[in-house]
Chain A
Amino acid sequence: MKILKIFKATPEDVKLNQYTGSWAWLLHRLTGLGLLFYLILHMWVLGSANSGSEAFDRRLAAVQTPLFHLLEIGLIGMIFYHMFNGLAISIVDLFGLTRKHRSFIVAGVCLFAVFTLFAAALIIPRLGSHN
């Protein structure tokens, strides 16, 4: 359970706090870190434009392979989870709906699943006819 060590938690802590909110909080943290890492990587790829159009085309072509397009689905999933859970947190915080927080988290997870599956259904068939 290395992940628990990173967050200074023990398996016992998780056993004692098996609430929807605890798991939503942990996933929000993990997807947030993943997206921050991706943002920096994305700016590094796009920043090659500072070295000219050829450098940009070369670097961008390297990340437009079938594998990267497949990984895009994971990225979109992380974005939608973080987005809908974040919206749920904002609504609960700004409108004083703490007592309803569990329903908002569940609604956020449902929206994340629907939007991610929709994106996957669009992207996967395109992988077969990749240029």
Chain B
Amino acid sequence: MNAAISSRSAIFWFLQRITGLLLAAFLFTHIKVLHLDFNFAEQGLIDFSFVVKRLQASIGWGIFYFLFILSALFHGLNGFWGIVMDFRPGAKGRMIWLAAIWLFGIIVAVWSLSTLLVFYGGRS
């Protein structure tokens, strides 16, 4: 393993820890607001207008979910890459997996962030 790969691995290891800590804060907030505080038995089902009203109440929610989506995708896909590496694929296999994970991550990130924008453009 050369120095460049080792240094890159160290950065990704550190980013995995940082995004993990961020996700702990994001998930605590998300679970509290939408799974525990929100009572579906009294308040009914969540629908488009509910989401629009909640997100448009503050741009802070937009920033929150923007960072949440990117942290979750990085953490999830980097963790998946760690599992792939546990199986010790060859050089060609590593390249194919890495390209597939990056491509998948970019597609899901664009799709998710465009969904977030829909809620900021919609009416409650």
Query: Distance (Å) between the CB of A106 and the closest chain B CB?
Result: 19
Contact residues of B between 29 and 85, Cβ < 8 Å to A: 31, 35-36, 39-42, 44-49, 51, 72-73, 76-77, 79-80, 83
- Chain B residues lying within 8 Å of A8, measured Cβ to Cβ, are 87
B80 and A33 contacting across the interface, CB-CB below 8 Å: yes
Chain B residues bordering chain A, tally (CB within 8 A): 37
For A41-84 the 0/1 string (1 means CB < 8 A from B) is 00100110110010011001100100001001000100100010
Say if the beta carbon of B118 comes within 8 Å of chain A. yes
Say if the beta carbon of B21 comes within 8 Å of chain A. yes
A122 and B112 contacting across the interface, CB-CB below 8 Å: no
- Chain A residues lying within 8 Å of B46, measured Cβ to Cβ, are 60, 64
Say if the beta carbon of A35 comes within 8 Å of chain B. yes
A83 and B27 contacting across the interface, CB-CB below 8 Å: yes
| Secondary structure type dominating chain A contacts | helix
Q: Given A33-B80, A119-B35, A130-B40, do A49 and B115 touch, yes or no (CB 8 Å)? A: yes
Chain A residues bordering chain B, tally (CB within 8 A): 39
Query: Distance (Å) between the CB of A41 and the closest chain B CB?
Result: 11
A128 to B118, CA, bound (A): 34
Which chain A residue has the least Cβ–Cβ distance from B77?
A36
Say if the beta carbon of B2 comes within 8 Å of chain A. no
A7 to B40, CA, bound (A): 39
A123 to B31, CA, bound (A): 12
B108 and A40 contacting across the interface, CB-CB below 8 Å: yes
Contact of A76 among B35, B80, B86 (CB under 8 A): B35
Q: Given A39-B72, A47-B112, A64-B46, do A123 and B24 touch, yes or no (CB 8 Å)? A: no
B48 and A49 contacting across the interface, CB-CB below 8 Å: yes
Q: A32-B76, A61-B47 are in contact. List 6 more A-B contacts (CB 8 A).
A: A32-B80, A33-B80, A49-B51, A53-B49, A56-B47, A79-B31
What are 7 A-B pairs at a CB distance below 8 A? Answer: A8-B87, A43-B112, A50-B111, A60-B47, A76-B35, A90-B20, A119-B36
